[in-house]
Amino acid sequence: MLRALRAALFVLVVSMTIAACDEEPRGGADALPGPVPSRVSFSEGDPASPPAPEFSLTLMDGTHVTGSALWRERPVVLFFFASWCGVCPDQEADLKVLAERYDDSVVFLGIAGEDEHEAVIGYLEEHDVSHAAAIDSGLSVWRNYAVREPPHVVVIAKGGRVIRGWPGGTTRAIIDQTLSELVEDP
């Protein structure tokens, strides 16, 4: 009886370990949008808007992304956050609703600053974050976007022009209004 119990426990532990290894971490490439829907068109925003600073980051699953590749085909919403930020989850909840609404039309990317990988994964899981995320270890992206502290939201038009930024975050309605001026038929 004891042998059978040990064997069953061993099988259970091995099964759980294999399942955990197969699970992709949140915030990886699978959270990036698919192909741009054919029914959607985009405005490139005001040509007088400043160009978005280029960046290069590694998503939580190890996938490398660049800003220019992300905004080449569609608008991008950057969300600068930290796992320890007390008000970031409120902004995150708004972004989740917008990410669902704009689906494959807009890229949503969370950028944690000087945070630990496990802490960010915990934050993403705890707040059910569905968009891609990365850690800006040296804060170079934060500096290039004039981020002093989280939360901070930036909207970039297709083609790479900064449309608007909100230090301290903003409301879902304001972000939605900004995106609706860039995306037709989301």
Does some domain include residue 92? yes
Q: Which of 104, 97, 108, 105 is nearest to 27 (CA)?
A: 108
Tokens 């802490």, located at residue: 119
How is residue 164 written in tokens? 């608007």
Prior bond to 151 cis, omega within 30? yes
Does some domain include residue 14? no
Q: How many domains does the chain have?
A: 1
The answer on pLDDT for 125 being more than 70 is: yes
Domain of residue 175, CATH code: 3.40.30.10
Does some domain include residue 176? yes
Does some domain include residue 17? no
The pLDDT tens digits of the residues spanning 10-54 come to: 433 334 433 444 456 789 999 999 999 999 999 988 899 999 999
Q: Which domain holds residue 135?
A: 27-184
Do 142 and 80 touch, CB atoms closer than 8 A? yes
pTM for the full predicted model: 0.86
